[in-house]
A and B are shown apart, each in its own frame.
Chain A
Amino acid sequence: MTEYILEAYNLEFSYLDGTKALKGLNIRIEKGKKIALVGNNGAGKTTLFLHFNGVHRPNKGEIRFKGEVINYYRKQMKELRKSVGIVFQDPDNQLFSASVYQDVSFGPVNMGWPEKVVREKIEQALRKTNTWSIKDKPTHFLSHGQKKRVAIAGILAMEPEVIILDEPTAGLDPIGTAQMMTLLDEFNQNGATVILSSHDLDQVYAWADIVFVINRGKIIAEGSPEEIFRNEEIMQQANLIKPWALDIFDYLTAKGIIKRTGITPRNRRELKILLD
């Protein structure tokens, strides 16, 4: 039986200004997978994420964490926020302290762990994200990529079971993007469920196990990257563009240049191997 770590049913949410951000959204997140959420700006990605660790409370519907309905009581909230970590898109909104070390310490200290444990977690998180060497630098002298890694370290230090990243590669250079994806793979290999939203569909196609398409506050499709990105109707409805590797592969097989073998290339390297 598949184990779902996060589930949301019939989620409805409006902001105070009346904007309906979620309109009866259903989603089930499988444990231990690499999950991507794609969709337009304003489709409701960030709003959904904020529901996953209880910052937003739905007007209607329910959210389950490990099968248990979230009731918004303090004790459960603390557990939820420890277990589900969100890395926000703009690190300047997340890093509240000028000191890298202090900022990373915030989450674990809130968990009420003893100081010795917290210091260990901070060091581990900083080393994993390759930011240990900049721990004494003030945040305002860091590059965007460094800030982003520090923001991730701040979440990692709480050792969440689910790590949610809102557009982790936005604004990063190609090398930074590649490093980020490797880092996310590492989290996943260590047992965490990783959820990200991204507009870089080539990246999503190469990386994800499961892709969800969100459009106007609803999940309109769910499936493997190949399934989703080959579904022209969905792609059109959500204004998405087919990843180039898949597009070229499908074109080449249609022309008979590549034989169908049941293997679909996920990236440049895999496509080249098929062509050799």
Chain B
Amino acid sequence: MLYIDQFVYTNKMRFFHPGEKLFFSLITMIICLLINNPFMHLTVIGVMIGLLVGKARIPGYVLGKILLVPLVFLLLGVITVALSWNNDGIGMLASVRIGDYFLGTTKEGLMSAGRIFLRALSSVTCLIFLAFTVPMIDMIYVLKLLKVPSLIIEMMLLIYRFIFVFVETAFHIYTAQSSRWGYSGFKRSVYSFGMLFANLWGKVYFKTRFLMESLLSRGYEGEIRVLYATPKFSGKNIFFFVTIDLALIVIALALPVY
């Protein structure tokens, strides 16, 4: 998340209304989940990667790295779908004999593994599109528009901000420790990490107190009320996104699965 964050705020689709991007991503994902058509799934993967690299200008290698994570999971998952076993090896494209049984893969097995893989990957690319184009700040704004309770909004606001403060604090402690040979061996590492963790909580406590003081001095009365920079809906963008989704449905209808 910290890694993605550097690119989210500079992506070229940043100033699209976050609601447009959220709904585009969610609706496309729903289409992927409802319609089981590998051609369409491939198109979705292509469109999302195309949008991210071509329009949002996310560097290809960054996207590749991020995509690698779900890819590994997906591959491990579908392998179990592709494999099957029987006791004569008939109908298998390839098989290994284990005792009286044959472990192998059939044409149908491969096909359904491929379909599941594409379906899952296309849904994941929809989410990655969202993660790369909508910064958390804008996401919170959309949730507020959708009338999510203010308690949750406030928590998200504070957590998101302080993740960075704490990661930075932890990193400073780590640097200070390792510069004094705190991670020189396994035993020392365990000890130092324990110290880091314990001290981090102490710091959290003081941070909370200071934060409370500074909030109070700015008129805090129990509710964090803020104004959001208001993005505007653009007819052009909505048209663009709707066209893509309609095209996907057309593809799904025009190229039926045989």
Contact = CB atoms under 8 A, between A and B. Distances in A.
B135 A138 contact: yes
Interface in B213-258: 213-221, 224-229
Interface residues of B, number: 32
B211 A154 contact: no
Contacts of A225: none
Interface string A131-143: 0000111111100
Contacts of A140: 5, 161, 164-165, 168
Contacts of B210: 88, 90, 93
A96 B211 contact: yes
A199 interface: no
A138 B165 CA distance: 12
Interface in A97-123: 97-99, 101-103, 105-107, 109-111, 115, 118-119, 122
Interface stretch (A77-85, A205-213, A237-245): A77-85
Contacts of B157: 96-98, 102
B217 A86 contact: yes
A1 B77 CA distance: 83
Q: Size class of A's contact patch?
A: 35 or more
B242 to A, nearest CB: 27
B218 A154 contact: yes
A105 B218 contact: no
Contacts, number: 105
B158 interface: yes
B85 interface: no
B103 interface: no
B181 interface: no
B227 A138 contact: no
A55 B9 contact: no
B165 A92 contact: yes
A215 interface: no
A189 B199 CA distance: 44
B135 A105 contact: no
A147 B82 CA distance: 54
13 contacts: A50-B217, A55-B217, A78-B219, A81-B216, A93-B210, A94-B214, A97-B137, A98-B161, A102-B228, A106-B220, A111-B219, A119-B227, A138-B137
Interface of A: 50, 53, 55, 78, 81-82, 85-86, 88, 90, 92-99, 101-103, 105-107, 109-111, 115, 118-119, 122, 135-141, 154-155, 158
